[in-house]
Amino acid sequence: MSIADDGVRGYIDEKLTARRRLNPDPTSPTTHRVLPFAIWLTGLPASGKSTIVSLLRPELEALDLTVEVLESDEVRHILTPAPTYSETERDLFYRALAFLGARLVAHGITVVFDATATRRMYRNLARTLIPRLIEVSVECPLEVCMQRDYKGTYHRGQHGDTSTVPGLQVPYEPPTDPELRIDTTTVTPAEAARRIIALVRTRLFTQEEN
């Protein structure tokens, strides 16, 4: 499967069509002007990414942005309905995910990636495709993530049901120079969302000229 196969293109078309229904006039005037951008929240499973994203999305939409969340499990159901999580499959999946996000951003949609992306090269690829990308490192010790384990990911790894759990059986490469670091053992999800919004305002928004 190539990263531009019918499945990826169909997913893109579906998202763009839905967004056009919600925002028929993307040129409507706003108080601020911002060029299209993306945010990638990366971190171990159960580090708190999805909880932060659930609070971040409405905050972004309150800025008059059209937002699409690309959650890895949701997109994986489209691209690899019976995932093996092999290295080859992960390479292909994250190339497709980065391509998908880049196409949405090119159409003026703010993209939030909610995806572990075990290898730095996956996020680096997205950065090459999306010039304005904010990488957020969601940091939490492995033992705390294992205690949370909302989806039972670590439980399956410990009981031999899988051998591909990031941080447990597969190395996770944290960002070396992210735009923002969030320690979810000390920072609440609401505060994390506020910090991301503050960064977006500082780095990406410019006042509309009269």
Q: 80 in helix, strand or coil?
A: coil
Q: Provide the residue-wise pLDDT of the chain in tens; the chain has 210 residues.
A: 444 455 556 656 665 555 554 454 444 444 456 788 999 999 999 999 999 999 999 999 999 999 999 999 999 999 988 889 999 999 999 999 999 999 999 999 999 999 999 999 999 999 999 999 999 999 999 999 999 999 999 999 999 899 999 999 999 999 999 999 999 999 999 999 999 999 999 998 864 433
Check which CATH number belongs to the domain holding 145 and give it: 3.40.50.300
Enclosing H/E stretch for 143: helix 142-148
Residue 23 lies in a domain: no
- Supply the pLDDT for residue 23: 52
Cα(140)–Cα(45) distance, integer angstroms: 10
Q: 114 in helix, strand or coil?
A: strand
Residue 77 lies in a domain: yes
| Cβ contact 173:120 at 8 Å | yes
- Supply the pLDDT for residue 208: 42
- Supply the pLDDT for residue 14: 62
Residue 25 lies in a domain: no
Residue 38 lies in a domain: yes
Q: How many C-beta atoms lie closer than 10 Å to residue 179's C-beta?
A: 16
Cα(46)–Cα(72) distance, integer angstroms: 13
Residue 24 lies in a domain: no
**pTM (predicted TM-score):** 0.84
Residue 174 lies in a domain: yes
- Supply the pLDDT for residue 54: 98
Cα(62)–Cα(50) distance, integer angstroms: 19
- Supply the pLDDT for residue 9: 60
Query: One-letter amino acid identity for 145?
Result: C
Cα(25)–Cα(165) distance, integer angstroms: 43
How many domains would you assign to the chain?
1
- Supply the pLDDT for residue 35: 85
- Supply the pLDDT for residue 27: 47
Q: Specify burial of residue 55 (Cβ count, 10 A radius: 0-12, 13-18, 19+).
A: middle
> Which residues pair with residue 180 across a beta bridge?
136
| Cβ contact 135:42 at 8 Å | yes
- Supply the pLDDT for residue 167: 93
- Supply the pLDDT for residue 45: 96
- Quote the domain boundaries for residue 155: 6-18+34-205
